[in-house]
């Protein structure tokens, strides 16, 4: 299965619809109801870096960092 085919699969479409009907921040509520965004698949303007994941090489390291983040 290709990525394009996977993204157009009904399961993913339903998940996208559910997300945009109750959890997203891009579809604001108004007195007239929810105003849905015109761009349900926006492109990120800055690249996302996964550098922090290089340090997450064990469960204890993840737990230690999550405690550190909660305390700060």
DSSP assignment of 3-46, as one string?
A: HHHHHTSHHHHHHHHHHHHHT-SSS-EETTEE---S-SSPPPSS
Q: Is the pLDDT of residue 72 over 60?
A: no
pLDDT of residue 6: 83
27 Cβ neighbours under 8 A, 6+ residues apart: 20, 21, 34, 35, 36, 37
Per-residue pLDDT tens over the stretch 17-50: 778 777 777 777 778 877 777 776 777 788 877 7
For the chain, what are the domain ranges?
3-71
Q: Is the pLDDT of residue 56 over 60?
A: yes
pLDDT of residue 42: 72
Q: What is the mean pLDDT of residues 36-65?
A: 79
């Amino acid at each position: 299965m290709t990525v394009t085919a996977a993204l157009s699969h009904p399961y993913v479409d339903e998940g996208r619809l559910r997300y945009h009907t109750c959890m997203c921040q891009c579809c604001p509520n108004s007195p007239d109801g929810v105003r849905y965004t015109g761009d349900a698949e926006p492109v990120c303007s800055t690249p996302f870096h996964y550098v922090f994941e290089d340090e997450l090489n064990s469960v204890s390291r993840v737990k230690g960092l999550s405690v550190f983040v909660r305390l700060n």
